[in-house]
Amino acid sequence: MPAPRAAAIHDLSGFGRCSLTIVIPALSAMGVQCCPLPTAYLSTHTGGFTGNTFLDMTDQMAPVTRHWQDCGVAFDAIYTGFMGSRDQMDLTADFIRTFRRPGCLVVVDPVMGDHGRAYRTYTPEMCRAMSRLTESAGLITPNRTEAALLLERDYDSVRLDTPEDCRRWAEALSLDGRRSVVLTGINGDGVTGAACFDHTAGKTHLVYAPLAPGQFHGTGDLFASVLTGALLQKRSLRDAAQTAADFTSLCAAHTGKENIPSREGLDFEPLLWRLQKMP
């Protein structure tokens, strides 16, 4: 069996572990061929660093789409994340329309913010465009902040305190059951996890892993990358989310012990081998 192939539309941030510097190694370790379409090159991500460079690669997106189409490339998955501009979201929607075929998994991680606030580069117009982009997805992976932005609700009203709350909000994000949702950042006593609404079964399951102390940049990117890799290994949504929660929790616990500044992200490289699956 050849490796499943995923197109990954995210930014490339040189320092600070997020987006493609997580997506590529995680998917590769899981036996998935990753074809990156970088939306921008930044010297660092925008969380915890100031003065980062930003090379906008929007004008590359349509030519890359056309060239891959000319080459007859087909994808088993399209996985998108952080966007640098509103135009990028429209071009990403075009990319999905061009390459979607039966069985192609379309994962849109609606990266827009965390801890109740949009990232500083995300304007309200971009958040609305992201919401439109998520309509092309078979699966979305918002955190609580992104859930509130997608639903146009006040952050404080999207409470994830009880299992019933978590289920309700995950289902509210499913466009009346038409797409699957993995709502991340649900917390319990000493645990963190995700509410997984599987649109094929019409059911929501909660998965949990130990909550490690500390907050690290790129945690959502690692979770969504492992989730996508596990789905391409034909695991169920619940199983894939459990694998992603376990691995992310392990990396957070390890990073916490190493005293690494949170803006440098998760020190996942020493643990990457654990994602490997023998053929």
Taking residues 219 to 238 in sequence order and writing x for each that binds ligand PXL by CB under 6 A, - otherwise, the string is --x-----------------
Reduced to 3 DSSP states, what percent helix, strand and coil does the chain have, rounded to the nearest 5? 40, 25, 35
User: Please, what is the minimum distance in Å from the beta carbon of residue 278 to ligand PXL?
Assistant: 30
User: Please, what is the minimum distance in Å from the beta carbon of residue 51 to ligand PXL?
Assistant: 13
**CA angle centred on 22, ends 20 and 25, rounded to 5°:** 100
Interatomic CA distance for residues 248 and 220, integer angstroms: 9
Interface region with ligand PXL, contact rule CB under 6 A, candidates 13-21, 145-153, 193-201, 242-250? 13-21
Interface region with ligand PXL, contact rule CB under 6 A, candidates 41-49, 134-142, 176-184, 207-215? 41-49
Which residues on neighbouring strands pair with residue 35, listed in sequence order?
Answer: 7
11 lies in the binding site for ligand PXL (CB under 6 A): yes
8 lies in the binding site for ligand PXL (CB under 6 A): no
Tokens of 191: 């645990």
Answer for which of 4, 6, 7, 19 binds ligand PXL (CB under 6 A) is 19
Long-range contact set of residues 95-104: C-beta below 8 Å, sequence gap at least 24: 95/7, 95/9, 95/37, 95/61, 95/65, 96/136, 97/136, 98/65, 98/69, 99/7, 99/65, 99/68, 99/69, 99/73, 99/74, 99/75, 100/136, 101/74, 103/76, 104/75, 104/76, 104/77, 104/78
- CA dist list (Å): 143 to 4, 59, 101, 135, 271: 27, 29, 28, 17, 24
Interface region with ligand PXL, contact rule CB under 6 A, candidates 45-53, 63-71, 153-161, 171-179? 45-53
Tokens of 268: 């996942």
Answer for which of 218, 232, 247, 248 binds ligand PXL (CB under 6 A) is 218
Taking residues 146 to 185 in sequence order and writing x for each that binds ligand PXL by CB under 6 A, - otherwise, the string is ----------------------------------------
45 lies in the binding site for ligand PXL (CB under 6 A): yes
User: Please, what is the minimum distance in Å from the beta carbon of residue 218 to ligand PXL?
Assistant: 5
Rank residues 218 and 229 by Cβ distance to ligand PXL and give the closer one: 218
> Which residues sit at the interface with ligand PXL, rule CB under 6 A?
11, 13, 18-19, 42, 45-47, 82, 111, 119, 218, 221
